[in-house]
Structure 1
């Protein structure tokens, strides 16, 4: 019953975040602001779960801190990235010229809001569970380690790409330096690691295994739905992209191969 209360409160928090974001997008005339709400929504759920839940206090606070560091960094990155720019081509293609309120809510905000609630289920369940058993404490520590790796890949990858694009000499050039030489999507790979790490941290018993579909869904989004595969569709015709793909791992980092001659 307590889990249902936490889950309902988490859903209400997601609705508030995405409704507010929709109204902001309506006012400024672009809906890529939902990318900012993506991180903020998870922080809101983690905060609600930490306050409403009565499970292990240490784990509730730890998960809140980890999610807040990740989510607020991501939200700020998206604000800076989209400042002064128009609508993202992804949302233009998705909406197909129909910017009516109902269509935008169904195609953008409803889907992302539902995904936020579902992916955050490990946080919600963990908030009502007791202390992490001694046998599972190494799993918790491993989860923090995976989270750290993920955050570093995501933050460093975003920073390297931002600096690269800031140099006018790199206009039209494929970014293939730093982490981008090891994987074509260090930010998405890092994001996946963050959520697998959070899932490991959230484990407090056998019942936690039932939430494994949450990081699986997040990974699916990052690889296929709105992440790496979609990004590459927009980059497919860029000069040098095929050669970059021939020597750089798609998702999981590995040393770059020699270019195919």
Structure 2
């Protein structure tokens, strides 16, 4: 298994693997429109039947350790987890300015954002370890926005989860094609996603009355509340949102 830093390994250890589990991981090269990409897959090879899959979309710093830790956690739960690479192989950022500039390229070109998630989805759907009828997508910060944008394309998803993502609204409403259920977790103290943004997003979802969605707002939680080792980390909101996601995935995959 990929060796993680202590703060992320501690996060992984909060999920207990099943008896006899053999969680393995690998780097997965793929591409989109000539851009080399480098994803990360983890799953329990002791489970021989095709598994439900979860795409994990990184925050604005790129595919670094954190989404890999989340992928390992999901693999311990029996999912085929694939941490997607939206930026390109080796494109990882430390600084706020560089990360914001890179993410801005995708916020300014939502078709590209959606297409990069689709490239990862296609890799996962073709993997023999995956049940292609049970694929979900989750994302953190920038990745939460990307997950929700991908859901708008009508991709056949079991479910979509956003953790402290920007809630982008569309005029006119663009929710007609969404397949599967939505879970949006956000922080009540997040200046990036204020109450007005949540209300506007919910109002767009309400234009399709039959759409299944839920928004959970955690008191005191700021932007990035699931990211350990950062000033925004909110352990209560992190634990609760993880448990909520686990229950959500179980429901949308198993009924």
Tell me, yes or no, whether TM beats 0.5: no
| Structure with more relative contact order (C-alpha pairs < 8 Å, separation 6 or more) | 1
TM superposition score normalised by structure 2:
0.30
Q: Which one has the bigger helix percentage?
A: 1
Instruction: Specify which structure has the higher proportion of strand.
Output: 2
Structure showing greater radius of gyration is: 1
Q: Given the two structures, how large is their TM-score scaled by the length of structure 1?
A: 0.30
